[in-house]
Each structure stands twice: as structure tokens, then as C-alpha cells.
A = this chain, B = another copy of it.
Amino acid sequence: MKTMRDVAAKAEVSYTTVSFVLNGRDGEMRIPEDTRQRVLVAATELGYRRNELARAMVSGRNRMLGFLVSFPEAEATARMLAGALDEAEKHNYSLKVLKLNGNRLDRQSIERCLELRLAGVMAIYLDEDSLNFLHEEMARQQIPVAVLERPQRPASGIGVITDDSQAMRLAVGHLAALGHRRIALISEQPSLIFEAREAAFRATMREWKLPIPEGYVSRGQINAPDSRFIEDITRQLLCHPAGRPTAIIGITDPMALVALRVAHESGLQVPQEISFVGYGDLAMATYSYPALTSVELPFREIGGAAVRRLVERVAAPQDQAAPFDELLPARLNVRSSTGPAPREEARQEPS
């Protein structure tokens, strides 16, 4: 592969001149048009491409961000990545994806980030310890860190997350407007992210002055493809002593869809007798039967915002000390799984 020196030889100018022309720094040093052209022609004729590695090394600034991901096969991850890629391209940065084992961060992964001299690092779905570890190590090397879709307490570094209050207001508000009063939530095993959504659910229900009977917020876990646990939970919910909920919110789309399936199998009409709302709006929401009303989480925007923030910090590292969370709004996509609440008497029938 040709180097600048080759171009210089061909254009019969010095190596430095080539550098100046190719980097467009002829503002500082006047290069007459004919010399410029000679250099450019020589460069294209030789098929010269600049060596990003060498530039990065000499400038000490690697225009490359690391994306630490635990579950690269998840659609949510993929969508954040998509957003991050678009934004990175705008800033002429590139993205390196690094896989973690589960949501733990081992020393080896940290080492890789440091060895690659990444300009910044973003991470999703890390556990508490790993996150602290990451912050510590990166702070030592002055490398900015962005944490995606994970409430931080205390805030440390850059956080980019969905505005869960707003998102839940969309879900609950939609159902409440349709007349639903008995709304249940199927949640996940505790983790910061699900706790935040749960809290938002309870707060919103309070705003709407809707009661949450004991057991209306239940926790399950999907170990795909085994969803029996959630199915059991749903069945219990459907014959709840305080009355069957007229709407169920799944804290993720899979949760909602498993519950929806149980309702189908129990012979319930959706949405005539019971409504379902998902959270995430993954592709599966569009293609379920009936199509699932779901809160569309701003995955792309989260990825994009994280990159934007990182690039800002790289450019102006002075205010490293100010940690903050950026909240991004969700949208509601209303589909066929939600409808008006059934009339009171309808619920009294045996199911």
C-alpha cells in the first residue's frame, strides 16, 4: 500500500507538502494551486489511502469508540447499535463492538479497551460491580464512559436512558383513557432497569388514582424458550381474587406476548375482554396476533445520544466531573391488543 512518501516522490515535492495538502491545512501554509493539483493527481494515480492507524498513533487520538455489549443478539442491543453507528458516522468516528460474558465485565475486556486506545466507551446491561469497575479504570485513563439504558445511582459519568415515567404514563394513560381501572403489571426479576419501570408504573397508577391490588404486580422470568413461569403467573392473574385485570402491561414485549397467549388459551377475547400492552416495541409486537400495542423505547436515540455525548467529552474533557443522566422520551404504538375496557357485568361471568 502506497505511503505519503510515494506520493511525494511522484509529485516531486517534499513529503511534508503532501501532508499539508492532504490534510487541507493549506490555510496555514499557502500552497499554490498547481502544486496542490500535482499532489492530488499523484495521490489518486497511486491509489493512496491514508493510514488511519498511523494518524491515530501519532495524534494520540483514536477516532474509535468501544461498544461493550452483553447480548449482541438481542434486538434492543441491535437497535442501539444502529443508532450509535449513524451518529458515529456523522462525527467520522468508527465503532468497535466488544462482547462481554453475560453482564459481567472481566479484566480482560477492560484491557482490550485500553490496549486499543479507544477514545470512549459505551456499555449496556452491565451489573453494578462491573459498572463501578469500568468507571474506575476508565477514569484513571481519562476515557469517557457512557452507560446506556440503565438508571445510575449515584449518577457517575454519562447516562442515557428512557424516561420511564413518561413511558409508563403513555402505557397507563392509554389504558386509563380506554376505561381500564384494573391494570396489572408483569415484571421481571429485580434489577435496576426493571425496578425503575415498576416504580414508574406505581407512580403513574397513583396519578390516575387507580388501585393496585396485592399481587397485581408480579415478577417472573423468561428463560427463553421456556416461558412456563410467566404462563403460571398470568393464569394466577386471570383468576385473581380481587377480580381479573382488564389490562395487563408486560414489562417487556415477550412478557406481554406470553401473557397474551395464555389469555388466548383461556378462551378470552383480546382486546374485547382483556387488553395487553408491551414495553419495548420489538419486531415481535408488530407480528403477533393480535398485533401488540407497545411502548416504543428510543433505542436508536439512546445509542445516538451516547455517541454524541462521548464525542463531546472527547473534544472537551475539561468538565469530566459532571455526571448526568439524559432522559429520552418513548412513544406509544397503538395496535390491536388494546381496546375499551369491558363493562363491569361482563367481568362477573365465569371465565
| A202 to B65 CA separation, bound complex (whole angstroms) | 47
| A225 to B287 CA separation, bound complex (whole angstroms) | 9
Contact in complex: A97, B85 (CB < 8 Å): yes
* Cβ of A83 to closest chain B Cβ, rounded Å: 8
A99 CB contacts on chain B under 8 angstroms? 82, 85-86, 89
A98 CB contacts on chain B under 8 angstroms? 85, 94
Encoded as 1 (CB less than 8 Å from any B CB) or 0, chain A from 268 to 293 comes to 00000000000000111011111100
Contact in complex: A115, B49 (CB < 8 Å): yes
| A261 to B254 CA separation, bound complex (whole angstroms) | 18
Contact of A47 among B52, B140, B286, B288 (CB under 8 A): B140
* Cβ of A139 to closest chain B Cβ, rounded Å: 13
Contact in complex: A287, B286 (CB < 8 Å): no
Q: Tell me, yes or no, whether A54 is within 8 Å of chain B by CB.
A: yes
Q: Tell me, yes or no, whether A78 is within 8 Å of chain B by CB.
A: yes
Q: Tell me, yes or no, whether A50 is within 8 Å of chain B by CB.
A: yes
Contact in complex: B81, A74 (CB < 8 Å): no
| A254 to B285 CA separation, bound complex (whole angstroms) | 11
A29 CB contacts on chain B under 8 angstroms? none
Contact in complex: B289, A287 (CB < 8 Å): no
Q: Copies of this chain, how many? A: 2
Contact in complex: B78, A111 (CB < 8 Å): no
Q: Tell me, yes or no, whether A155 is within 8 Å of chain B by CB.
A: no
Interface members, chain A 36-61 (any B CB < 8 Å):
47, 49-54, 56-57
Q: Tell me, yes or no, whether A239 is within 8 Å of chain B by CB.
A: no
Interface members, chain A 279-327 (any B CB < 8 Å):
282-284, 286-291, 300
A56 CB contacts on chain B under 8 angstroms? 53
Contact in complex: B85, A74 (CB < 8 Å): no
Task: Knowing A72-B85, A75-B75, say if A286 contacts B224 (CB, 8 Å).
Answer: yes
A5 CB contacts on chain B under 8 angstroms? none
* Cβ of A49 to closest chain B Cβ, rounded Å: 4
Encoded as 1 (CB less than 8 Å from any B CB) or 0, chain A from 76 to 116 comes to 01110110011001000011111100000000000110111
Q: Tell me, yes or no, whether A253 is within 8 Å of chain B by CB.
A: yes
Contact of A254 among B47, B115, B258, B283 (CB under 8 A): B283
Q: Tell me, yes or no, whether A62 is within 8 Å of chain B by CB.
A: yes
Contact in complex: A72, B82 (CB < 8 Å): yes
A52 CB contacts on chain B under 8 angstroms? 115-117
Contact of A94 among B1, B72, B116, B261 (CB under 8 A): B116
Encoded as 1 (CB less than 8 Å from any B CB) or 0, chain A from 223 to 263 comes to 01101000000000000000000000000011001101100
A283 CB contacts on chain B under 8 angstroms? 75, 224, 254, 282-284
* Cβ of A88 to closest chain B Cβ, rounded Å: 8
Contact in complex: A82, B73 (CB < 8 Å): yes
| A73 to B1 CA separation, bound complex (whole angstroms) | 34
21 A-B pairs in the complex with CB atoms less than 8 angstroms apart: A1-B114, A1-B117, A51-B57, A51-B115, A52-B116, A64-B96, A72-B81, A72-B82, A73-B78, A74-B78, A75-B78, A78-B78, A85-B98, A97-B97, A224-B283, A224-B286, A257-B288, A258-B287, A282-B283, A287-B288, A288-B289
9 tightest Cβ-Cβ pairs between the two chains A and B: A78-B78, A284-B284, A257-B287, A85-B99, A72-B82, A73-B82, A49-B114, A52-B115, A53-B57
